[in-house]
Structure 1
Amino acid sequence: MDIARSLREEARRANERRLLVLAGDPERTRTRAAAALDAADIPRAETTVLGPKSFIDCERYEQSRAEELLGRTRTAVVLDAHAELRPNAVGRSVGAVDGGGLYVLLAPPLDTFPQRRDGFDETLAVPPFETADVTGHFRRRFVETLRAHRGVAIVDVDSDTVESDGLTDPPPRRPPAPPTPPDDAAFPAEAYEQCLTDDQRDAVLAFEALRSAGTAVVVEADRGRGKSSAAGLAAGALAAEGRDVLVTAPRYRSAAEVFARAAALLDALGVDYTRDQASSPRSLTLDGGGRVRFCPPATAVDLPEAPDAVVVDEAAALPVRRLERFLDAPAVAFTTTVHGYEGAGRGFSVRFRDRLADGEHEVTDATMTTPIRYGDADPVEVWAFRALLLDARPPVDPLVTDATPETVDYRRLSTADLLDDEHLLREAFGLLVLAHYRTEPADLARLLDAPNLTVRALTRDGHVVAVALLAREGSLSAATRATMYGGGRVRGNMLPDVLTTQLRDEEAGVPVGQRVLRIATHAAVRSRGLGSRLLSEIEAEFADEADWLGVGYGATPELVRFWDANGYGTVHLSTSRNDTSGEYSAVMIDPCSPAGERLAERHAAWFRDRIAAVLSDALADCDPDVVRAVLRAADAEPDLSLSPWEWRLVAGVPGGASIMDTDPKPFRDLTVRHLLDPADSDALTAREERLLVRKVLQAAPWLSVTDELEFVSRRECMRALGGAVESLTRLYGDVSVQEELDRHR
């Protein structure tokens, strides 16, 4: 194919990439793809196919496994979109193509592509909707970007016509001037001489902070900027000083470049070292001391053999709770991808950065913007960012800083509104991206195509200041509810699914609700009540259409209090942590109708009755402030029915006449009663409530509780617990209980 040859020649000359679209009959596009790669002189060993079948003798993965390309470089990637087009697969694979390479897309005829329904569309059709209800807006916009952007060649293989040749006639590539090594660097000059851009030099310089304990380094960059190479040069330099550097990443393949660059630096320094294996080494051990070694995250969090420094590559792909454990290292660095939704999502930038800033580490930041794999003006990167909104951003601060609940407008953003106004779409989606740790390219398709989703926003002079993504759930057929109750998988309907499968309520899928999937307020106007204003408008809109409003999220004390203040009551706290946030998820409901009230009331009561037992088992390590908040937010009628004997047992503890271990149940009942709805909110301090949660409800060992709550001694901790029990006994016990209490005082 002459067009493929021309694209490849131009791409190599400019150190850019080109996109070749082959549209038409599936088998014809596959045959032409093989011919195109041959014409472009791209070896099969440097090619990866993402698709359902092998048609080229090269590496192949299903689109669902596109993450295998993260951290790798390929000369060509062929994405076969005939069976399905997964946005995440596009986002994860396009960045793997090197400068001078081709990204090849195989697709049905572009004019009919948006009307087709494929395997990905089936995932958007959550009950009671069907695949036919899914729109094709995402693919229509996707096709429009293909036709509008530079560097995209489009060939109709059925008619053998070239719609666009994709040639841009760029100026010849000019090799960039090598960066100047810093004058006052602690790392050897050879480390800086191997840098390819000023950004990379500055990143390596930032890594010098790891030479001191109590430091953390954060390097952020888009893919292809050389952040892993910078980390490798720094690791090699630290090892040359005799330090032990532990490297971790979601998979070794992601960190392979770190070891390659570390080894190259050691070679340049003339340092003698040994590899644990000739290719893909996982350990570089220097003869005079010092080493660079890899451990998977599950092992690395324990800081085996006490490393001097830890490098976490592609940190965004790891759960926040796991990232926090690396803060116990003497010095730690995190590299992460800014755009492209690398790995698991944006837990790093949304949740972890705040926790890092609040900690004791001295943090050094570096940002890398200049591409290394390909030229600065690469048209394929520009296309990918536009097609998937990888660089979507909220409005700049000055446009919204005067927004208040009284000056904003409530808007129902239809798909037509978003497609007709690119700025509105970018602002709404960009706000969701920056405010939530799980947003990914597929969410753009869901927002535009899923029949169960709607978008609501507050705007100020047309600019988005707060946005919510809602999912319609419930109103499920008897057959669907029976499938769910029997353990069958039902897409979507998260809240009915949890209440049905885990809490054994088959009728939970009958009422119809609106679940708040995402809600975000612009950072410049937070804490002004805009989130609450948005929720109140949503409640007013759906008051006559829904039985309940609901939400499920990684629980923190602040978030629980926010939802509680807006009328949502706790009905469930998950018994396993979220893989990404590392937090237990709270499920809360705000009823809108009698049916919704009945659903909320019975589940709040069940939550009240079972929570004490769960806290001493699966939730034994839950943050006590989260426990306090979710119990306070449960709209359950307090119930305290202790027998005379149980009251005597409780009343004897403050004076030392009895011990809690004889029967913890009445103490748990008393604690839950108070935390649900205190008769006197000043009866206990926050510390006393935490003590009751950790010792009474979670049954933590005395020494652990003493240490966590910073008591001077175990005796003081035990005395404090006795005082808290006495306060509750006087608050909730009758006259006879007071007399029993006084008897032992």
Structure 2
Amino acid sequence: MAHLFPTDNWLALTQHMARAGQRRLLLLAGDNAWSESQAAHLQHCLPGDWLWVSDKANQAQACTPRNARALLGREFHHAVFDARLGFDAEAFAILAGTLRAGSWLVMMTPPFADWPNRPDCDSLRWNDQQQPTASPQFVARFLAALQSQSAEMLVWQQGKAPAFPAQFPQACWHPVQGEPLQEQAAIRDELLAMASGIAVVTAGRGRGKSALAGMLIRAWNGTVLVTAPARVATDVMAEHAHKPLAFIAPDALLEQMHSGKTPHADWLVVDEAAAIPLPQLAAMIDGFSRVLLISTVQGYEGTGQGFILKLCSQLPVSRRYVLNTPVRWAPDCPLELFVSSLLLFDESGTGTTPVSGEMLPAPAFGTVLPGELTDVYRLLSSAHYRTSPLDLRRLLDAPGQHVVAAKIGGKPIAAAWLVTEGGLTQKLSEAVWAGFRRPRGNLVAQSLAAHGGSPRAAMLTGWRVSRIAVYPGAQRKGVGQALIAEVKRQAPAGCDYLSVSFGYTQALWRFWERCGFRLVRMGTSLEASSGCYTAMALLPLTQEGEALAANEARHLSRNLSCLQPWLPFPLPGEPDTGRNLLPGDWRELAGFAWGYRPLMSCLASLVRVLAICPLELPALRGELQSRQPTAVLCGNLGLAGRKALLSRQRLEAGQILVWHDENQAHTLKAWLAQLQFFD
């Protein structure tokens, strides 16, 4: 079997890449044995770390794609990315960001002729199907990006001669030798002179933002407290600080602050700040006079321009800095340009509106076709700062995705990303209500069944508004409402409702209410990604949708007075103060006692029945009436933990049902039992 290139040429090209500060992609497209043979030959010829990211690698240094985040903050010389079974775009971007100048990223793929139609195992993460599906749109995008940089990327397909560059890179790059770059030094000096306030430093991968924070800590004579979602991400910061960091995890810091024991520090430094929900970030900042927030943008962490827009609109940011110069490789590195082009990390233009002036021309509305998704995706990601490569994969190749945009001069100024949901069978919808089944996808449809008042809620079909975005310059001019009205007009026959799930704020709810939505669900715990309480709303389109929306809105209104003590803000609407127990309450209690409905989904029914039931019921009363902490309640009852407590509470709910009506209890229990089994 012929090897890839003569060893001398291969070594020479790699040496020229190191001198030029470049990193490159080498793609091997062929069968498994052939690709592995070529990768092994390269590993033998070129000294380096040779990290393999693969689900099947048998190497000294290996990592599975799902564990790729463990590579953050580390550096490697040469790596292999295995995309033969599936393409984890986030892991690919993470791996590319770890490679230093003079490195090859060797990527193994199926033969190009087979790749577009081959099932992609990674699709199980972003596609609601039960089995892996093909990703023809993303593969086409990958190959097009490869072709556009054909002079810089190396491709070898099995059975074809490899393309070897006619000329080696000649530029000379001077790597950083420990001293700060000019822009790093300038920002550090301004931060050292800052008397108080919030400073934000953002950068793409490899720009030295963590190193800059370490330089600040090293030069500061006082105390600096560091927090980050993962401590491993602060290793580079500690290296440049030349001393151990005073680190505290975000949840531990917030717990101390809430208990009145805020640690004293001259500075609070928050690494990868975009990974922390803004409400928590705001609470942290409130306790310190000087704060430095650093975060990656245009990168795989799911951050971007949207983080900056939301941060600056919600927090009193006094200074903002951007690091532009790469530290670990040269500007215009071929690998960085390829990854940025492929995954749309370049957000140029997302912060400006393609129109100017106070008067906004009437936009044209229309459905977005796959070939028009680039500008729309950038717009959507700018509005939702947790956007990640997973979303791009879903938008391109998952079924049931629709995008409607408002355009001026052919450029999108607003877009709504919609997902088809619902359509479950009656038995499956009832099994979801009881907690026996959780099929993939159907976020709002399943939630209405699992937490709402109707076991058949997931039978109807709806369009969920997954994302909506309006360019900043076009906001507060009615464009968002007009876009939702257009979505309503474009909804297909048989679509019963539009739905939305969002982190509740009064401002957001006012927008959805103006669009015609009705609030139908309010969660009672903070949602991890937004730091807010989850709310859901419906806009009915058919008679069946109207009946569902009316029923769920009544269900929420009837439960408002029971939910309110568990929420830190006033709920909208007039609560129904009636305490009478209805048939739906007893059915809900049965779903908790003999099914797997969550405790908080049955909160209102339980509160009502506890007010009239004479039974002792210490597990239920301890949590819902006395509001005892779980650890205290478990200790009082001699239970091992939360799981044992929940089992006791379900047992007590069954006792309530038997106390109320033994015959009805047996009927409900039999009904619940048959929901577990169906074709």
Q: Which amino acid aligns with 1:354?
A: S
Q: Counterpart in 1 of 2:73?
A: 71
Q: Counterpart in 1 of 2:168?
A: 169
Given that 2:298 and 2:304 are in contact with CA atoms closer than 8 Å, whether structure 1 keeps it comes out as: no
Q: Counterpart in 2 of 1:727?
A: none
**1:131 deviation in Å?**
5.2
Q: Distance in 2 between matches of 1:79 and 1:479?
A: 43
Q: Counterpart in 1 of 2:313?
A: 354
Q: Distance in 1 between matches of 2:561 and 2:161?
A: 70
Deviations 1:54-95 (A, max 9, x none): 23221x222122211222211123211112102222222211
Indicate which of 395, 398, 408 corresponds to 1:447: 395
Go from structure 1 to structure 2 and tell me whether the alpha carbon gap of 1:305 and 1:523 turns closer, same or farther (over 3 Å shift).
Answer: closer
Indicate which of 108, 111, 114 corresponds to 2:113: 111
Given that 1:345 and 1:437 are in contact with CA atoms closer than 8 Å, whether structure 2 keeps it comes out as: yes
SS at match of 2:552: helix
**1:641 deviation in Å?**
5.5
Q: Counterpart in 2 of 1:253?
A: 232
Q: Distance in 2 between matches of 1:297 and 1:41?
A: 40
Q: Counterpart in 1 of 2:22?
A: 16
Given that 1:346 and 1:439 are in contact with CA atoms closer than 8 Å, whether structure 2 keeps it comes out as: no
Given that 2:304 and 2:382 are in contact with CA atoms closer than 8 Å, whether structure 1 keeps it comes out as: no
Q: Distance in 1 between matches of 2:28 and 2:13?
A: 14
Q: Distance in 2 between matches of 1:64 and 1:209?
A: 42
Q: Counterpart in 2 of 1:151?
A: 152
Indicate which of 270, 290, 300 corresponds to 1:331: 290
**1:579 deviation in Å?**
1.2
Deviations 1:470-501 (A, max 9, x none): 00001123464355343433222101111122
Given that 1:394 and 1:427 are in contact with CA atoms closer than 8 Å, whether structure 2 keeps it comes out as: no
> In terms of Rg, which structure is larger?
1
Q: Is 1:230 equivalent to 2:212 in the alignment?
A: yes
Instruction: Give matches, 1:477-626, under 5 Å.
Output: 477-478=425-426, 480-481=428-429, 484-485=432-433, 486-503=435-452, 505-542=454-491, 544-617=493-566, 619=567, 621=568, 623-624=569-570
Q: Counterpart in 2 of 1:220?
A: 202
Deviations 1:220-241 (A, max 9, x none): 1111011111110110111xx2
Q: Distance in 1 between matches of 2:396 and 2:65?
A: 21
In the superposition, the TM-score normalised over structure 2's length comes to 0.79
Q: Which amino acid aligns with 2:188?
A: V
Q: Distance in 1 between matches of 2:451 and 2:172?
A: 60
Go from structure 1 to structure 2 and tell me whether the alpha carbon gap of 1:122 and 1:341 turns closer, same or farther (over 3 Å shift).
Answer: closer
Given that 1:21 and 1:154 are in contact with CA atoms closer than 8 Å, whether structure 2 keeps it comes out as: yes
Q: Which amino acid aligns with 2:233?
A: S
Q: Distance in 1 between matches of 2:468 and 2:422?
A: 20
SS at match of 1:165: coil
Instruction: Give matches, 1:397-436, under 5 Å.
Output: 397=352, 399-401=354-356, 407-415=362-370, 417-418=371-372, 425-436=373-384
More displaced stretch, 166-175 vs 74-83: 166-175
Q: Is 1:378 equivalent to 2:337 in the alignment?
A: no
Q: Counterpart in 1 of 2:269?
A: 311
Deviations 1:255-311 (A, max 9, x none): 011111111xxxxxxxxxxx6xxxxxxx3xxxxxxxx41222222333654122111
Go from structure 1 to structure 2 and tell me whether the alpha carbon gap of 1:397 and 1:296 turns closer, same or farther (over 3 Å shift).
Answer: closer
Given that 2:354 and 2:413 are in contact with CA atoms closer than 8 Å, whether structure 1 keeps it comes out as: no
SS at match of 1:492: coil
Structure 2 gaps of 5+ residues are: 581-603, 609-624, 628-679
Identity fraction in percent: 28
Q: Counterpart in 2 of 1:392?
A: 347
Given that 1:405 and 1:530 are in contact with CA atoms closer than 8 Å, whether structure 2 keeps it comes out as: no
**1:434 deviation in Å?**
0.8
C-alpha RMSD of the superposition: 2.9
Deviations 1:92-132 (A, max 9, x none): 221111111111211111232111111122344426x9755
Q: Counterpart in 1 of 2:241?
A: 262
Go from structure 1 to structure 2 and tell me whether the alpha carbon gap of 1:114 and 1:604 turns closer, same or farther (over 3 Å shift).
Answer: same
Deviations 1:560-618 (A, max 9, x none): 0000001000001112212122111210000000110111111111111112212213x
**1:511 deviation in Å?**
0.8
Given that 1:431 and 1:522 are in contact with CA atoms closer than 8 Å, whether structure 2 keeps it comes out as: yes
Given that 1:195 and 1:230 are in contact with CA atoms closer than 8 Å, whether structure 2 keeps it comes out as: no
Go from structure 1 to structure 2 and tell me whether the alpha carbon gap of 1:544 and 1:308 turns closer, same or farther (over 3 Å shift).
Answer: same
Q: Distance in 2 between matches of 1:508 and 1:582?
A: 27
Structure 1 gaps of 5+ residues are: 179-192, 264-274, 276-282, 284-291, 419-424, 633-637, 644-664, 670-697, 701-745
Go from structure 1 to structure 2 and tell me whether the alpha carbon gap of 1:513 and 1:195 turns closer, same or farther (over 3 Å shift).
Answer: same
Q: Counterpart in 2 of 1:96?
A: 98
Q: Is 1:49 equivalent to 2:52 in the alignment?
A: yes
Q: Distance in 1 between matches of 2:358 and 2:431?
A: 47
Deviations 1:125-166 (A, max 9, x none): 426x9755x65101111122123214211112x32631x336
Q: Distance in 2 between matches of 1:449 and 1:543?
A: 20
**1:393 deviation in Å?**
4.1
Q: Counterpart in 1 of 2:86?
A: 84
Q: Distance in 2 between matches of 1:548 and 1:108?
A: 42
Q: Counterpart in 2 of 1:322?
A: 280
Given that 1:553 and 1:585 are in contact with CA atoms closer than 8 Å, whether structure 2 keeps it comes out as: yes
Q: Counterpart in 1 of 2:249?
A: 296
Q: Which amino acid aligns with 2:224?
A: V
Q: Counterpart in 1 of 2:179?
A: 195
